[in-house]
A = this chain, B = another copy of it.
């Protein structure tokens, strides 16, 4: 009995536990998915999942299992996703190498019913690329800003919008980057208003916060 799944979480938090697959065997992951299905959970999500874990699940589960390669996400799709009628979350990222983390955020957001607009590779070294997307950024209910190296993107974006920016530092970089510490500190010290930060490479965590905000924005519709 290696895992006490928190089935009660949906009551308290409005969504089921999401499975962190890294470091678990494919058999363990399967067992957790099966137990959650028994309990009646729908559209179960596994993050940091390998293709191997996915293939094992697809083989052994009756439900429709999908794998998102770049975002490393497995989803056992059991009911149709009901999209929010209005509004979107913007996911912006700085460099090519931040893609994995940005996609982790974007896919989780979509499975939870949010409309997502992606704007990738728009880092501050060529800031005109960001301005080309100004409308989609400024009209979002929340922005997830993903950046490694110096992580300046979050501040620049936050200076342009009036909605919360959830900043995700990534471990992209080398040397004095210290595995994401550099971007993390940058984002925590943002001189722009409205920035909050999640752990290094934690696209999933940012998606949950953005989803909660977007749900609040949609609640009185």
Contacts and interface: CB of A to CB of B under 8 A. Distances in A.
Interface string A91-121: 0001111010000000000000000000011
| A interface residue count range (under 10 / 10 to 19 / 20 to 34 / 35 or more) | 35 or more
A126 interface: yes
A167 B174 CA distance: 17
Contacts of A125: 6, 155, 158-159, 190-193
A217 B193 CA distance: 19
Most buried by B among A94, A129, A155: A155
Nearest to A176: B188
Contacts of A36: none
Interface stretch (A49-57, A59-67, A71-79, A179-187): A179-187
Given A152-B124, A152-B150, A188 B175 contact: yes
Given A171-B175, A185-B185, A192 B12 contact: no
Interface string A15-33: 1001000011000100000
A139 interface: no
Interface of A: 1-4, 6, 8-9, 12-15, 18, 23-24, 28, 94-97, 99, 120-129, 141, 149-152, 155-156, 158-164, 166, 169, 171, 173-202, 205-206, 208-209, 212-213, 216-221
